Amino acid sequence: MISDSKVMKIARRMEDANDLDIKKTIEKASTAGYLGEEHFYCTVIEDGGLTHMVPEIFGDIYKSMKLDNLYFDIISKALDHEGIYISLGYCATNLIVPDSECSEIIEYDDYDLDDDEYECMVEYALITADEVKKFRVYAEEGIAGHERIEDVGLIVNIIDGDYRAYFALRSTDQCMSSFRVLPFSDNYPKEHPLSLINPINKILIEMIDRTIVLK
């Protein structure tokens, strides 16, 4: 398991994101490995933290767009305003992934409970464009995973001429057409789904760090 200090180091390093190659990171994330092509998305952030996929800007949410000059021109303009969100990882509870497809299987047990106090084992598939891992934890540990309608990635924008990036969760529900971006924080306890030291988020952040392309 990655340490708290290493996760915080990755998060702080990412804040100074001038070495981040945004174009190549988006291109790499768009071929999502285990989940198939075009499963991860880059979306444009508007006021209030809502995001929209690029085809929505042209009035057609179902339109398939190539990652061409027009696409990246829109992304570039968005960076100068509220920024963009790059989807880079999933914590899937409803996806059955064979152990043979996983690069690592992690079992988490951090509380001193008797065996008869454990009843419900929960299994999460953690997926990036590069790799798949499994995370197993007893529900009694209280560690919050993510919903099927959520993914993890980076908020990126330009502040005072420099790129800044922050790990975040993008969430929606079935009755919404837009996504809301919620930044991670070290102010939450480890059980919280937006905590930087939540063990699920720690593993995903380490995995995402390996998928990011630098200049």
Q: Considering Cα of 83, then 163, then 17, then 195, what sign does the dihedral take?
A: negative
> Domain for residue 28, yes or no?
yes
The pLDDT of residue 70: 86
> Is position 106 within any domain?
no
Residue 115 lies in a domain: no
| pTM for the full predicted model | 0.86
Burial class of residue 146, CB neighbours in 10 A (0-12, 13-18, 19+)? buried
Sign of CA dihedral 44, 48, 49, 51: negative
- Residue 51's domain spans which residues? 4-89+148-211
CA–CA separation, 87 and 164 (whole Å) = 16
Considering the domain boundaries, does residue 42 fall inside one?
A: yes
* Residue 202 covered by a domain: yes
Structural domain includes residue 99: no
The reported pLDDT for the residue numbered 58 is: 65
| pLDDT per residue of the chain (215 residues) written in tens, 0 to 9 | 789 999 999 999 999 888 899 999 988 887 765 565 555 678 888 877 778 777 666 665 555 667 888 888 889 989 988 899 998 998 887 678 888 989 999 988 776 656 656 678 888 999 888 889 999 888 877 888 888 888 899 999 988 888 999 999 988 765 555 678 899 999 999 999 999 999 999 999 999 999 899 88
Tell me whether residue 136 is in a domain: no
pLDDT of the residue at 60: 58
Domain total in the chain: 1
Q: Which tokens belong to 126?
A: 């953690």
Q: How far apart are CA 26 and CA 86, in angstroms?
A: 7
Tokens of 212: 């990011």
Residue 44 lies in a domain: yes
